[in-house]
Structure 1
């Protein structure tokens, strides 16, 4: 990814700097990063990213701590 276009969720505040950002880097590559640490980029396959999103949607990663 030479010059990725980073996107953040529409649920994030426009001026917030504590978001997960996503960039698509080709047909089968997605990059993830924390906006507070933009130099740490995690490349994943598009199928892995899709599985992550589906898991979030169904609550697989929901906290059980109150």
Structure 2
């Protein structure tokens, strides 16, 4: 997974959050559970990610 950033509510030790990164071509947003880094990840179109963030009241 490309360089990612942890959620703002992370505990600081990397075990209680999700990580978000742009795909190398910037055509997808990649989301994974920091407790299971090698596991599955959610892949979203950038517009879907923006819609999701809008629905949570965060941008």
Does TM, normalized by the shorter one, top 0.5? yes
Q: Distance in 2 between matches of 1:13 and 1:43?
A: 24
Q: Which has the higher contact order (CA 8 A, sep 6+)?
A: 2
Q: Distance in 2 between matches of 1:9 and 1:18?
A: 9
TM-score if structure 2 supplies the norm length?
0.76
User: Could you say which structure has the higher helix fraction?
Assistant: 2
What residue ranges of structure 1 are gaps of 5+ in the alignment? Answer: 59-66
- RMSD, matched Cα: 1.8
- Matched positions, count: 56
Q: Shift of the alpha carbon at 1:8?
A: 0.7
- Extract structure 1 runs of 4+ deviating beyond 4 A: none
TM-score (norm 1): 0.70
